[in-house]
């Protein structure tokens, strides 16, 4: 079984000014990030603007990323869609493009009908048909649907479902999943804002937006924890909170891309209907980045 231990940046998708894919910049960003001791890369997660891309574009991103990710580092590919059929199709495309595992966001458009049973059946159907292992993705701030522990545990019973990325930050629920899941079920923190508490409960790593712009800080938290140096881990965790909040819940993908541009990676434009940061917020973000990374 694939071991998910370690940290993964959820790579933003690079666009040109006309909003077309900028595949060269995707490749260059991956190459720069992979100089750090990261376990791999997630492409087309929430920060990758997955829902903004056509099926053909998603395939191009998968293929481009796989070529750029070095051997020995995992490629996790977002493949969630609103229908089971499309999710299976995207999972097969991702697998054919070289993904090691797929990250599947729960469907949520008909959230009133997304009972625990419906979600478990969805994940089991996908896992039955995906050529690569499936990771459950709980992201309530984007989907508007927060899976409870019982739902996650029911879905996790499938042999081809190997883990969970939980971005909700409910540590009580995370603990219940870790305690009651099958052996070797792997939980990943979905935000650097609660990486250390998640590791303390038994998470094996994280998929962290902050790892795109501050990979070493995220790795400092992770490695200090593994070394048993909780004082240092706590210090690094507290250092991460403010900047992480700015590029996740507060200002989102536009802020993450702006931060990447400022720090020597390629962020570039977002796809509409997302809008770039206005001047005031951009100034606040740059000031925060400069405070977080003093010369």
What digits encode the pLDDT tens for the residues 213-247?
Answer: 999 999 999 999 999 999 999 999 999 999 999 88
Q: If we measure between CA atoms, which residue out of 246, 244, 206 comes closest to residue 222?
A: 206
Its pTM stands at 0.97
Tokens standing for residue 107: 């469907």
Q: Active site residue: 3, 16, 58, 165, which one?
A: 165
3-class DSSP state of 200: helix
Identify the pLDDT of residue 293: 82
Weakly modelled stretches of the chain, pLDDT under 50: none
* Residue 121 and residue 85 in contact, taking contact as beta carbons nearer than 8 Å: no
Query: Cα separation of 167 and 174, whole Å?
Result: 10
Query: Cα separation of 244 and 256, whole Å?
Result: 9
Q: Is 257 noted as a catalytic residue in this protein?
A: no
Other beta carbons within 10 angstroms of residue 88's beta carbon come to 20
Identify the pLDDT of residue 295: 61
Name the phi and psi angles at 73, rounded to 5.
-115, 140
Identify the pLDDT of residue 294: 74
Q: If we measure between CA atoms, which residue out of 11, 64, 67, 59 comes closest to residue 38?
A: 11
Q: For the purposes of burial, counting CB atoms within 10 Å of the CB of 40, is it exposed (0-12), middle (13-18) or buried (19 or more)? A: buried
Q: If we measure between CA atoms, which residue out of 201, 134, 141 comes closest to residue 168?
A: 141
């Amino acid at each position: 079984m694939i071991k998910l231990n370690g940290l993964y940046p959820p790579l933003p998708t690079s666009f040109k000014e006309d909003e077309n894919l900028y595949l060269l910049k995707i490749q260059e960003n991956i190459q720069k990030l992979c100089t750090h001791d990261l376990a791999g890369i997630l492409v087309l997660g929430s920060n990758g603007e997955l829902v903004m891309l056509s099926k053909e574009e998603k395939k191009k991103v998968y293929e481009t990323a796989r070529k750029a990710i070095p051997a020995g580092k995992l490629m996790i590919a977002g493949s969630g869609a609103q229908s089971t059929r499309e999710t299976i199709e995207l999972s097969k495309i991702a697998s054919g493009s070289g993904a090691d595992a797929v990250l599947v966001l729960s469907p949520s458009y008909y959230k009133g009908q997304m009972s625990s049973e419906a979600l478990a059946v969805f994940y089991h159907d996908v896992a039955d048909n995906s050529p690569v292992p499936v990771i459950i993705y709980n992201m309530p701030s984007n989907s508007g649907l927060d899976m409870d522990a019982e739902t996650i545990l029911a879905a996790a019973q499938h042999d081809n479902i190997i883990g969970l990325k939980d971005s909700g930050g409910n540590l009580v629920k995370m603990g219940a999943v870790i305690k009651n899941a099958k052996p070797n079920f792997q939980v990943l923190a979905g935000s650097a804002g609660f990486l250390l508490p998640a590791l303390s409960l038994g998470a094996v790593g994280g998929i962290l937006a902050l790892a795109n712009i501050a990979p070493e800080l995220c790795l400092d938290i992770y490695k200090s924890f593994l070394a048993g140096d909780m004082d240092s881990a706590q210090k690094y965790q507290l250092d991460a909170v403010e900047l992480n909040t700015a590029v996740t819940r507060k200002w989102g993908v536009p802020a993450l891309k702006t931060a990447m541009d400022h720090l020597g990676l390629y962020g570039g434009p977002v796809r509409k209907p997302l809008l770039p940061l206005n001047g005031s917020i951009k100034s606040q973000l740059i000031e925060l980045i400069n405070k977080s990374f003093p010369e």
